[in-house]
Amino acid sequence: MPTTTLIEPHGGTLCELIVPEAEREALKEKALTLPSITLTPRQLCDIELLLNGGFSPLRGFLNRADYDRVVEEMRLQNGILWPMPITLDVSEEVARTLNPGDEVALRDPTGLLLAVMHIEDVWKPDKEREARLVFGTTSTEHPAVAYLMHEAGDYYVGGTLKGVQLPVHYDFKELRHTPAQLRAEFERREWERIVAFQTRNPMHRAHKELTDRAAEEVGGHLLIHPVVGMTKPGDIDYYTRVRCYRKLLKYYPDGRAMLSLLPLAMRMGGPREAVWHAIIRKNYGCTHLIIGRDHAGPGKDSSGKPFYGPYDAQELVQKYQDELGIGVVPFKLMVYVPDQDTYKPIDEVKEGERTLSISGTELRRRLAEGEEIPEWFSYPEVVAELRRTHPPRHQQGFTVFFTGLSGSGKSTIANALMTRLLELTGRPVTLLDGDVVRTHLSKGLGFSKEDRSINVRRIGYVASEITKHRGIAICAPIAPYEADRQYNRQLISSFGGYIEVFVDTPLEVCEQRDVKGLYAKARAGLIKGFTGIDDPYEPPSNPEIVCRTTEETVEQCVEKILDYLYQEGYLRKEENDA
């Protein structure tokens, strides 16, 4: 019989919230009479880790008292360390229907009942305060702040959960362990000292060397525990990553490492997130966590300033290490020493020793341009998996997204670009023009701010599907709001290229060109909420291309866009000669 002694969960008890089988049918019956909330992708990740005990000692979404103390002090009301607000956000419309003492059914998008929540609080949070204290910034260039300000509902609902079942997954089922299941597997293997490796990226030789050394350093075993919930926009999809991890496993010594998937919605919250990751791994039975440079940080803002210092995460976890009870293995940057054909931590490299490394940006460039990726950097099987889903840029789909005022010339340039692309490439090209989309895709939508946003995001969704399947999409709505354009950029960029073209035509010129008489009607008050008259147009902050139709002809604008597509590798001259 195994005699393994595993680390205690955070708070002393693994809080699995699925009710016993005998209660489930009664709970399902009761839920039929309750109001329902359909959970978002982030909320689905959160509820899975609430129900399976990964977020122990939480027993539901935070109530207001717990939320306030977590935001201010990184502690629950009972004093237990907890760094991240786990909140159920809803719209004002939904919040008005809910009251403390009520119960509400929480369902996935198919209507499947996951849990019933006993409501303790419904409140409108101060989101700027939350952003400032939790993420250290109110800049929406931080992905978690952007989500908080533009995606999350304006009200929070807090309360305890009675779980009916976990969210359903049909992929990689043998790798999806709950904390209790993973702990049982550690006991079966008689593993006691387990170091977890948190990752949202593919792993290469440097990562393998690093994790191997970490397991040796703690005198134990390695859990590769990648995030397969929500990560940073633009990250490589988890299906590709998991196939890469599986290929990598065979390079570890027998019995040293195992792979398990974590359904976490990352916030990219840097130091606080690192503490959160340590707590989660402790709940899963790990005794140590590798903490890297800028662990769980989103990188730099548009001015090049990092959101967090390189060692802020390590320092905060080490500050609470005694209370956490989980060891920290600091990440040492590994570099390749070609003269010895080996990897070394950078602090062990001797003066004058030659080293090689390839950054994530450089790797993406090599994949995009079809360049060689050397064997000293990664394993051939891993590179082959990456190439399967990330072909060279000229084989990827892309979207050209025009934005500008009504009458700026978007549709004219978009139509001309479409015909030139059909002439040059022979590839499928789809034009999603504003008027055409409103006739076929968004019929019934009005021109309120909300309806305009829905229309633009619908266009983005269709363009993302075209891009995913390696076609070319050209979009030409007004798209007046920066938040909607950024949403589309993030969505489409995960599948291929996104090229934003700002058709920068002055309002007075647009009015002079007013073939439909819309500006005149807006000036006369016959049309309300017209962009540029009584509703704002937010110019793009960083478009790839700017076309000025007062200075450039349609043909010049099209050639400028084509030049960019050739320069960035989305088109190749050889296609024209074929």
Catalytic residues: 199-201
- Spatial distance between the Cα atoms of 183 and 56, rounded to a whole number of angstroms: 14
In the block, which residue shows the tokens 């060692």? 311
What is the 3 state secondary structure string of 57-124? CCCEECCHHHHHHHHHHCECCCCCECCCCCCEEECHHHHCCCCCCCEEEEECCCCCEEEEEEEEEEEC
Beta carbons of 497 and 561 less than 8 angstroms apart: no
Amino acid making up residue 451: D
Cα 486 to chain centroid distance, Å, stands at 13
Is the peptide bond between 310 and the residue preceding it cis, with omega within 30 degrees of 0?
no
> What 3-state DSSP class applies to 410?
helix
What is the DSSP-derived secondary structure letter of residue 9? P
The DSSP string of 477-520 is -----HHHHHHHHHHHHTTSEEEEEEE---HHHHHHT-TT-HHH
Cα 457 to chain centroid distance, Å, stands at 17
Find all residues with CB under 8 Å of 355, minimum gap 6, and list them: 335, 336, 337, 338, 344, 346, 349
Phi/psi for 302 (5° steps) reads -65, -20
- Spatial distance between the Cα atoms of 394 and 566, rounded to a whole number of angstroms: 9
Beta carbons of 395 and 470 less than 8 angstroms apart: yes
Strand pairing class (194-199; 221-226): parallel
Beta carbons of 326 and 291 less than 8 angstroms apart: no
The sign of the dihedral angle between the CA atoms of 75, 40, 144, 140 is negative
What does each C-alpha distance from 97 to 76, 100, 104, 122, 413 come to in angstroms? 27, 11, 10, 10, 48
- Spatial distance between the Cα atoms of 228 and 243, rounded to a whole number of angstroms: 12
What does each C-alpha distance from 420 to 403, 415, 572 come to in angstroms? 20, 9, 14
In this structure, what token pair is assigned to residue 387?
Answer: 């190439």
The DSSP string of 215-246 is HHHHTSEEEEEEB-S---TTPPPHHHHHHHHH
> What 3-state DSSP class applies to 466?
helix
What is the DSSP-derived secondary structure letter of residue 382? H
